[in-house]
Structure 1
Amino acid sequence: MSLANSSTNLHPGDDAFAVPEVRAQIHRMSIDTYHRLGEQGMIDERTELIRGVVIDKMSKSPLHVWIATQLADLLRDVVGPNFYLRAEQPLTLCDSEPEPDIAIVPGSPNDYRARHPIQANLVVEVALSSEKLDREKAYLYAEAGFPEYWLILPNTRTVELHQDPKAGVYKTVVSLGADQTLTTQAAPELTLRVADLFPPDA
């Protein structure tokens, strides 16, 4: 039986974590176990490991894909020679293995033939219907020491810029509107108007 189809799987936005009795019954899974069960076909590929719990990933709308693809194309053209861009690929953290829409990681693809990256200079999530989970991921990324996290919010045409991770939280969080500009140390040549992340009719 596939664990991804079992009744114990949690879905983004579920309130199960908020119920103490439910939390007490959740059996946390190590990253090694998650990998092993995945290799055996017991966990669906459309999942992430978050805090040791297997979570079903939401399907992506055309708008979600459009925004992520547009931004990935822009970043890929300006990312530095000692970094490369990964799209919807795992990052291995302490007890989690999220798959952000975009991550700029050090090195080259050859560095990750036997393992997933544990570091990233920039991570990006597009939050159309997954805002609650993507906000929780800010804590994961801050704990990992990732210097910058972008949370793209198409429903309000804004981007939340999370920076300066300390003690598991980002100390600086700024909301940028459509008429403001995004820059990142991960790709210093990039200057991007927030409005350009969204189609005119979004």
Structure 2
Amino acid sequence: MPSATYEPELDTTRPFRIRWTRNDCERFERDGLLTPGKYELIEGDILRKMPQKRPHLFATSLTLSLMNRIFGEDYVQLPGPIDVSPEDNLTSEPEPDVTVLARPLAEFSATNPRPDDIRLLVEISDATRYFDRGTKANLYARAEIVEYWSLDLVQRKLHVHREPRDGKYQSVTVHGENQSIAPLAAPDQAILVSALLPPKSE
């Protein structure tokens, strides 16, 4: 009698994923389960912020100082939440390292800056550099934020994202530490990339 051979069934079930919302995070904060400033909500995922290492802190301070000099302290936001596109707002509330605003910071005492309030975003990237140039760049492009910089502390390069269209930045240029770049909002203010970077470690 012929014997029957059965192939094992393939489990094609996708892993169970909960997509958290801003309302969920606010509730978790009230219940003491999350601490403001210690996490980001990105595309429904609650991401714990890693403690800043000295190079990240140093680069953030340099970038903040330069942006304050160019745009004025009243127009530069420290690491803090922003709004993104309406379709992403429910499940995302990113907190870029530096945000250059089109209106004075005092006007955002109770609400997040919206995409049309933002002239430039800067993320200081080390362990998160691929995430910042991928998931976050697409999030910012969908919001049509006109310019986004990702400063890579590992490769010591600045990735400049411009021309958001169809959910992607159409122009992405990479600048080495000996090159200069001027923000779109201040075209006469060229910045040497090395001025944003901590000294090279020996």
TM-score, normalised via structure 2 length: 0.82
Structure 1 residue 20: Cα displacement: 7.3
Structure 2 distance, partners of 1:20, 1:133, is 26
CA contact 1:128–1:154 (8 Å) conserved in 2: yes
Native 8 Å contact 1:80 1:187 kept in 2:
no
The superposition leaves residues 52-105 of structure 1 with CA deviations (integer Å, 9 ceiling, x where unpaired) of 221111121101010111111011111169x71112101122231111111112
| Residues 62 and 195 in structure 2, CA contact (< 8 A), matched pair in contact too | no
2:45 counterpart (45, 53, 59): 53
State the partner residue of 1:35.
26
Q: Larger deviation: 161-170 or 51-60?
A: 51-60
Go from structure 1 to structure 2 and tell me whether the alpha carbon gap of 1:47 and 1:66 turns closer, same or farther (over 3 Å shift).
same
Offset of residue 199 of structure 1:
3.2
Distance 1:35 1:118 in 2: 19
Task: Measure the CA separation in 1 of the matches of 2:23 and 2:101.
Answer: 22
In the TM superposition, residue 179 of structure 1 has moved relative to its aligned partner by: 1.9
Name the CA shift for 1:80/1:200 in 2 (closer, same or farther; >3 Å).
closer
- C-alpha displacement of 1:116: 1.0
Verify: 1:26 aligned to 2:17, yes or no: yes
Deviations 1:90-130 (A, max 9, x none): 11222311111111122223322221112221111111111
Counterpart AA for 1:122: L
Hey, what does 1:74 align to over in structure 2? 66
What's the TM-score, normalizing by structure 1? 0.82
Aligned length: 181
The whole-number CA distance in structure 2 between the counterparts of 1:186 and 1:148 is 9
Q: Tell me which structure has the larger Cα radius of gyration.
A: 2
Identity %: 28
Query: Cα distance 1:189–1:41, how it changes in 2: closer, same or farther (>3 A)?
Result: farther
Q: Is the 8 A contact 1:48 1:97 kept in 2?
A: yes
Distance 1:122 1:86 in 2: 11
What one-letter code is carried by the residue in structure 2 that aligns with 1:41? Answer: G
Listed as ranges, the gaps of 5+ residues in structure 1 are 1-18
Q: What is the identity, as a one-letter code, of the residue corresponding to 2:63? A: L
Structure 1: distance between partners of 2:20 and 2:147:
27
Q: Which piece of structure 1 moves more, 120-129 or 161-170?
A: 120-129
Shift of 1:145: 0.7
Does the 8 Å contact 2:160/2:174 carry over to 1? yes
